[in-house]
Amino acid sequence: MKKTRGFEICKGFEDKEIHLPERKTKHSTGYDFECAEDTVVPKYEPGMNPTLIPTGIKVYMMDDEVLYLYNRSSNPKKKGLILANSVGVIDKDYYGNPDNDGHIMFAFYNNKEEDIIVKKGEAIGQGVFQKYLLVDHDQASGERAGGFGSTDKK
């Protein structure tokens, strides 16, 4: 069977009882992602880096597709969790990269007054597949050489 788009468990997470993302209703747009291991998201302090919450999941897709990562609508109010990058972008060539096998992680800040613990198996966000377009005479020829944040490395 030809693979079109889907999710797989990343290397190193095969025996960790990871659930593949799924839509909960027939009209849901997003695939719900869960936290792969208990993670503490400390309360925000100026200058701190976001906390990366692991999912243990990687994604494959068609050449003209992207997976956008969005926060759960309840996270800001209930847990104080805000996506650091507003929307995550997972490109096709992130899949299986040599740095982290394409491991999808959600980057969060916590705006509550106390640290927040996100438990393994808790829903943390959703992924939405989308087609994208290219401009006339697009000349992109670079190749991904790594994982998270690697497309701007020189």
**Domain range summary for the chain, segments of one domain joined by +:** 6-131
34-62 tens-digit pLDDT = 999 999 999 999 999 999 999 999 999 99
**E runs forming strands in 3-152:** 6-9, 31-34, 39-41, 51-54, 57-60, 65-71, 81-83, 88-91, 105-110, 116-118, 123-131
Asked whether the predicted pLDDT for residue 3 surpasses 60, the reply is yes
94-106 tens-digit pLDDT = 999 999 999 999 9
Residue 142 pLDDT: 73
**CATH of span 6-131:** 2.70.40.10
Instruction: Work out the pLDDT band at 81, boundaries 50, 70, 90.
Output: very high
Q: Name residue 106's beta-bridge partners.
A: 53
Residue 149 pLDDT: 59
CA 35 from centre of chain: 10
Write phi, then psi, for 65 (nearest 5 degrees).
Answer: -125, 160
